[in-house]
A and B are shown apart, each in its own frame.
Chain A
Amino acid sequence: MKILKGIGASSGVAEGIVRVVHGVKDIERFNEGDVLVSEMTEPSMVIMMNKAAAIVTDGGGITSHPAIVSRELGVPCVVNTKTATLELRDGMRVRVDGTAGEVGLL
């Protein structure tokens, strides 16, 4: 079920558990293969981004920080969803389609 639409910033599809993160304090609860959801990525999230199966943000264009690094890492990324951090909750299982720019609930 599609619940969010944004800009597809890094192509590919991945599924995983949502972790809404705000900064370095979230490192301990972030697991390899989780879907990183944030308003906008920050440098303090680097360790989590390196573990993420996909990245979803509220803001950002195609050359924003999450978009650039996702393309290098080869993980799907959807930016500019506007409401990801409001509509997605920790523990939800989602499918991130970085080509279509969509996030769906599984």
Chain B
Amino acid sequence: MELQVKLVCFRFMKKNYPEWINQYARSAHQAFSHMVPSRWSSLDGFSVFRSLNGTFIDHIYNLLSALKKSGVSDRQMWNMFSNPSSLRCAITFLIVEYQFITDKRRFRDKTQFVFSALNSILAAGMLEDAWVENKNCVHTQAEINIIIKNSLWHGSKMAKDAARLYMSLASMGFSLYRDFFPQESHEIFGVYDASSFQKDSKMIIKYFPRLRPLEIWSETDSFPWSEFKIYHITNDIGFRCELIGMHSIYGKAVLPNTLAIAVEADGKFLNSEEIKEASERIARFATDYSSLSERLSIDEFKLKFLDWECHQFIELFRAAKMDWRPSKEMKRAVLDANIPMGLAIDSFPEFAEYEKSQEYEVYWLKELYSNLN
């Protein structure tokens, strides 16, 4: 047994798995460590990923193969995702699915193809730090300077109102996509240099797309907006974020260091009264929509979860002229499985253990590129 372990370690040392796996491992460890202890009240998504047993990987393999055959470029596919955190989370969920596939040999080639394709798409859009160990930047400095020049700026006295709007929008996304998919409609970009606004200042962009996902919830037909952007200029407050961009961390207080705010809704900049009004309206919508998933039976919730998973790729499915919805194999796998409501994670191991333990996905990700099977 001891010899076997040594051999496994030795073989890993020799394996030439792609570098993105190391970046993913560091970034995912940081993200999970900062989330725990976690309490999620909706469906246990990790049990869903475990039960899929390759059916979603198969679905995405067919999708990406079709797009590659049609000559769709990585950059074009990048633009079809809601935002980079949505893509990173989609990859993460596929990694967890792969970890629990019972016949890994059968899925080896398809999974490698899927991970390679999705990482190429991610690399095509991220300017640096694709897995966001520190920053989540997709805008060039020239683009930032144009935003600074063309936005309708409000002074720091609007900081609290903009924060309330942020809160309302974040809750809206949480209502529509629940615990595992809020990143579909909530992303934070930055940190950017805003010195063309004021010397030594910084900019963060809070982005809320897909706020009216009619394919998922026809009830959102009455929601007045599809997309918000909050441009936030501050002193240097040590902002950084994580694999999931909305997981923001600040070294200093946000409100007293706010210099300017601009809010864009569906391409139109809002004045101060419109910001306050939107904040209150969206808070009421978010409250109403919070009951949407609470009404679902456990089987309905399982199917909704699969809808959310596939919805991450909806624009790609459309480009490939394929049905975006879950395959019958996915539905069967999940409906047959025992998946509880609610999930608690009380602790997370140190990096060295996380990276090497078979309990966690990184081991299996490295194994995917080895010859152990």
Q: Does any Cβ of B come within 8 Å of A31's Cβ?
A: no
Task: Give the contacting residue for A62; candidates B244, B249, B284; CB below 8 A.
Answer: B249
User: Which of these binds chain B: A13-21, A46-54, A88-96?
Assistant: A46-54
Q: Say yes or no: B39 contacts A43, CB within 8 Å.
A: no
Min CB gap A15→B, angstroms: 18
Q: Does any Cβ of A come within 8 Å of B255's Cβ?
A: yes
Min CB gap A52→B, angstroms: 10
Q: Does any Cβ of A come within 8 Å of B260's Cβ?
A: no
Q: Say yes or no: A50 contacts B164, CB within 8 Å.
A: yes
Tell me the complex Cα distance, A46–B289, Å.
11
Scan A21-50; emit 1 where CB is below 8 A from any B CB, else 0. Answer: 001100100000000000110111111011
Contact A58 to B287, CB < 8 A, known contacts A46-B168, A63-B249, A72-B163: no
Min CB gap A66→B, angstroms: 11
Q: Say yes or no: B37 contacts A80, CB within 8 Å.
A: yes
Scan B272-306; emit 1 where CB is below 8 A from any A CB, else 0. Answer: 00000001000110110111000000000000000
Q: Say yes or no: A11 contacts B253, CB within 8 Å.
A: yes
Contacts of B254 in A (CB 8 A): 71-72, 74
Q: Does any Cβ of A come within 8 Å of B242's Cβ?
A: yes
Tell me the complex Cα distance, A32–B252, Å.
25
Contacts of B247 in A (CB 8 A): 63, 68
Q: Say yes or no: A44 contacts B290, CB within 8 Å.
A: yes
Question: Chain B interface: which size bin?
Answer: 35 or more
Scan A68-86; emit 1 where CB is below 8 A from any B CB, else 0. Answer: 1101111000001000000
Task: Give the contacting residue for A47; candidates B31, B253, B283, B344; CB below 8 A.
Answer: B283
Min CB gap B183→A, angstroms: 12
Contacts of A42 in B (CB 8 A): 41, 174, 290
Within 8 A of A (CB), among B28-44: 31, 33-41
Tell me the complex Cα distance, A35–B171, Å.
19
Contacts of B39 in A (CB 8 A): 39-40, 58-60
Tell me the complex Cα distance, A80–B37, Å.
7
Tell me the complex Cα distance, A43–B284, Å.
10
Q: Say yes or no: B286 contacts A60, CB within 8 Å.
A: no
| Residue of B38, B242, B289 ringed by the most chain A CB atoms within 10 A | B38
Contact A74 to B37, CB < 8 A, known contacts A46-B171, A46-B286, A50-B168: no
Contact A43 to B171, CB < 8 A, known contacts A64-B38, A69-B166, A73-B164: yes
| Residue of A59, A60, A61 ringed by the most chain B CB atoms within 10 A | A61
Q: Say yes or no: A68 contacts B170, CB within 8 Å.
A: yes
Min CB gap A29→B, angstroms: 15
Q: How many residues of chain A get a CB closer than 8 Å to chain B's CBs?
A: 30
Q: Does any Cβ of A come within 8 Å of B122's Cβ?
A: no
Q: Does any Cβ of B come within 8 Å of A2's Cβ?
A: no
Task: Give the contacting residue for B253; candidates A50, A64, A68, A74; CB below 8 A.
Answer: A74
Q: Say yes or no: A43 contacts B172, CB within 8 Å.
A: yes
Contacts of A62 in B (CB 8 A): 34, 249
Tell me the complex Cα distance, A73–B167, Å.
8
Q: Say yes or no: A65 contacts B35, CB within 8 Å.
A: no
Q: Say yes or no: B35 contacts A43, CB within 8 Å.
A: no
Contacts of A50 in B (CB 8 A): 164, 167-168, 279, 283
Q: Say yes or no: A72 contacts B167, CB within 8 Å.
A: yes
Residues of B within 8 A of A (CB): 31, 33-41, 160, 163-164, 166-168, 170-172, 174-175, 242, 244, 246-250, 253-256, 279, 283-284, 286-287, 289-291, 344
Residues of A within 8 A of B (CB): 11-12, 23-24, 27, 39-40, 42-47, 49-50, 58-65, 68-69, 71-74, 80
Interchain Cβ contacts under 8 Å between A and B, 13 examples: A24-B290, A27-B287, A42-B174, A43-B174, A47-B284, A49-B171, A60-B37, A63-B31, A63-B242, A63-B248, A65-B174, A71-B254, A73-B163
The 5 closest A-B pairs by CB, nearest first: A46-B171, A44-B290, A63-B247, A74-B255, A59-B39
Additional A-B contact list (8), CB under 8 Å, known A61-B33, A63-B242? A43-B175, A44-B287, A47-B287, A63-B248, A68-B247, A69-B166, A73-B160, A80-B37
